[in-house]
């Protein structure tokens, strides 16, 4: 009697899910643009809609369980005479959650990507995943025929939502969020390698462990290609001097060897971060591709125009001529931006350090607000 009652309840729940799916299908085209708009609005809002990030994380866990139910749980229910969801229903629900996740996180990735670096490849991968999620024939073909690839697709969605939402919800640093994102992704990707366990042998378990370690290692060593989705550089400048009271670069000079040895050089950056987030970033100075100095700077989130920080380099090689680069990095090794300049005896070939704050990425839209921004936070400087 109890079994029949349980079967009836499961059948009633599944009937409700089927009716809900039928009603939602005509409106699914609205889902991606709404998700993208929510993500874009969340990025620029001060609080960034923390509740939506939490809802996405829970939705992805739910989708993961649904995907498992189509295979592992579905077979378990069928063997015991319980009804199962019609084929494709779980994939449809998962598709909606994937679309919401990808299009919500897409603005964070596009805005924080340093496009003249390897991060552009990661950003293009996310764009490709978002496009794939709205092309039904390809999406459902992968869901139906290539289950391992499908679970990897879902694992990448989990990676994105953890990377984006944890610094916002829990005020974790980008490094802490990255480690948790990698660990969660490895767990969620486990069903992709489930076939290895069917061998019921030591080699199968060893292969599974090796695949997990390989996946985690690739994610960690490839972190420089992953944009720090909670941080972005709004502007940068090179200058021979700095107005400490106004916290602004000043002066202008051609970067000849004599000029930089006499006055030194300031690298000025403005970094935007969520309110309540404290982070350590680094200015890494390179000369002709060789790293010379690393200056660590502590920043705090919440200032709309970006937290202003600068490093002042005074010690230069005997012959400083050549190509220079200042990498702006997080403490986890993710790139926030870079500043390139040339030092030359020929003033016409040398870069002009003109103190002009040049906006980075999409902050060009807010250039005047950035320059005329109000001083709401304390800022930090350091010297090398």
Measured CA to CA, the distance from residue 259 to residue 249 in angstroms comes to 16
- Shared domain for 237 and 365, answered yes or no, is yes
CB-based burial of residue 361 (10 Å sphere; 0-12 exposed, 13-18 middle, 19+ buried)?
Answer: middle
The sign of the torsion formed by the CA atoms of 126, 282, 298, 372 equals negative
Q: To the nearest 10°, report the CA torsion of 123, 170, 220, 323.
A: 60
Query: Mean of the per-residue pLDDT values for the chain?
Result: 77
pLDDT of residue 41: 64
Average pLDDT over residues 350-356: 94
**Is residue 367's pLDDT more than 60?**
no
**CA dihedral defined by 152, 185, 111, 361, rounded to 10 degrees?**
-100
> 213 with 338, same domain?
no
DSSP H or E stretch at residue 282: strand 278-287
Q: Is the pLDDT of residue 353 over 80?
A: yes
- pLDDT of 374 > 80? The answer is no
Pairwise pLDDT comparison (56 vs 342), residue with the higher score? 342
Low-confidence winner among 13-17, 124-128, 223-227, 299-303 (lowest mean pLDDT): 13-17
Higher pLDDT, 306 or 141: 141
Same domain for 205 and 259?
A: no
Comparing 22-36, 169-183, 370-384, the range with the smallest average pLDDT is: 370-384
Q: What whole-number distance in Å separates Cα of residue 232 and Cα of residue 119?
A: 13
Which of 204, 225, 246 is the C-terminal boundary of a domain?
225
- Let me know: does 227 contact 109? Beta carbons within 8 Å: yes
- Mean pLDDT for 92-120 is 85
User: Is residue 185 predicted with pLDDT exceeding 50?
Assistant: yes
Kindly state whether residues 255 and 149 are assigned to the same domain: no
Cβ count near 217 (within 10 Å): 11
Cα–chain center distance at 317:
36
Residue 340, φ and ψ in degrees, nearest 5: -110, 145
Total number of domains in the chain: 2
Residue that terminates a domain, selected from 225, 259, 290 = 225
Region 134-160: what's the mean pLDDT? 86
- The parent domain of residue 46 ranges over 2-225
Lowest mean pLDDT among 119-123, 172-176, 240-244, 323-327: 172-176
Q: Do 239 and 142 belong to one domain?
A: no
> Count of alpha carbons within 13 Å of 209, Cβ hemisphere only?
6
28 and 153 part of one domain: yes
Residues 6+ apart with CB under 8 A from 52: 38, 42, 104
Residue partners of 258: CB distance under 8 A and separation at least 6: none
For residues 164 and 18, state if they share a domain.
Answer: yes
- Rounded Cα–Cα distance for residues 228 and 190 (Å): 25
Same domain, 181 and 255: no
Task: Identify which of 337, 300, 370, 348 has the alpha carbon closest to the alpha carbon of residue 111.
Answer: 337
pLDDT of residue 86: 61
Contacts of 90 (CB under 8 A, 6+ apart): 66, 67, 69, 70
Mean pLDDT of 157-184: 83
- Shortest CA distance to 161 belongs to which of 109, 202, 91, 221? 109
Helix ranges, the chain (H): 2-24, 31-44, 50-68, 74-79, 89-112, 119-133, 136-145, 147-169, 174-188, 202-221, 257-263, 367-371
Core vs surface per residue 225-252: b (16+ CB within 10 A) or e: bbbbbbbbbbbbbbbbbbeeeebbbeee
Say whether both 22 and 146 belong to one domain.
yes
Q: Which CATH number do you get for residue 260?
A: 2.60.40
Global confidence as pTM: 0.74
Question: What is the maximum span of the chain, computed from C-alpha positions, in angstroms?
Answer: 93
Which of 57-61, 179-183, 215-219, 324-328 is the most confident on average?
324-328
CA distance 88 to 92: 6
273 and 216 within one domain = no
Task: Please say which residue of 225, 257, 292 terminates a domain.
Answer: 225
Predicted confidence at residue 190, as pLDDT, reads 80
Same domain, 128 and 209: yes
pLDDT interval class at 256 (50, 70, 90): very high
Same domain, 316 and 353: yes
Distance of alpha carbon 41 from its chain centroid, rounded?
16
pLDDT at 164 over 50: yes
Residue 303, pLDDT above cutoff 70: no
């Amino acid at each position: 009697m109890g079994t029949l009652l349980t079967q009836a309840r499961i059948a009633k729940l599944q009937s409700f899910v089927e009716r809900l799916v039928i009603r939602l299908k005509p409106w699914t085209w609205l889902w991606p643009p709404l998700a993208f708009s929510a993500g874009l609005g969340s990025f620029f809002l001060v609080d960034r809609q923390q509740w939506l990030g939490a809802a996405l994380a829970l939705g992805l866990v739910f989708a993961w369980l649904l995907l498992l139910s189509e295979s592992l749980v579905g077979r378990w229910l069928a063997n015991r005479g319980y009804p199962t969801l019609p084929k494709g229903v779980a994939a449809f629900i998962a598709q909606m959650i994937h679309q919401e996740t990808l299009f919500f996180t897409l603005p964070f990735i596009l805005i924080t990507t340093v496009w003249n670096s390897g991060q552009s490849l990661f950003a293009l991968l996310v764009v490709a995943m978002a496009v794939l999620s709205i092309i039904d024939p390809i999406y459902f073909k992968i869901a139906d025929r290539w289950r391992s690839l499908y679970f990897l697709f879902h694992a990448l969605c989990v990676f994105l939502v953890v990377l984006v939402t944890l610094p916002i919800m829990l005020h974790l640093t980008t490094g802490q969020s990255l480690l948790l994102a990698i660990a969660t992704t490895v767990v969620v990707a486990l069903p992709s390698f489930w076939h290895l366990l069917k061998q019921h042998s030591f080699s199968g378990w060893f292969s599974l462990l090796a695949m997990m370690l390989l996946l985690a290692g690739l994610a960690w060593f490839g972190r420089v290609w992953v944009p720090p989705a909670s941080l972005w550089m709004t502007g940068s400048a090179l200058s021979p001097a700095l107005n400490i009271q106004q916290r602004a670069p000043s002066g202008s000079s051609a970067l000849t060897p004599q000029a930089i040895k006499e006055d030194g050089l300031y690298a000025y950056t403005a970094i935007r971060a969520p309110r309540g987030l404290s982070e350590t970033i680094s200015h890494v100075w390179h000369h002709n591709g060789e790293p010379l100095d690393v200056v660590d700077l502590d920043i705090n989130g919440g200032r709309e125009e970006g937290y202003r920080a600068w490093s002042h380099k005074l010690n230069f090689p005997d012959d400083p001529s050549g190509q220079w680069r200042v990498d702006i990095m997080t403490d986890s090794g993710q790139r926030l931006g870079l500043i390139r300049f040339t030092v030359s005896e020929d003033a016409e070939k040398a870069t002009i350090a003109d103190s002009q704050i040049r906006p980075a990425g999409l902050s060009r839209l807010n250039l005047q607000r950035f320059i005329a921004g109000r001083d709401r936070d304390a800022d930090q400087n350091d010297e090398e």
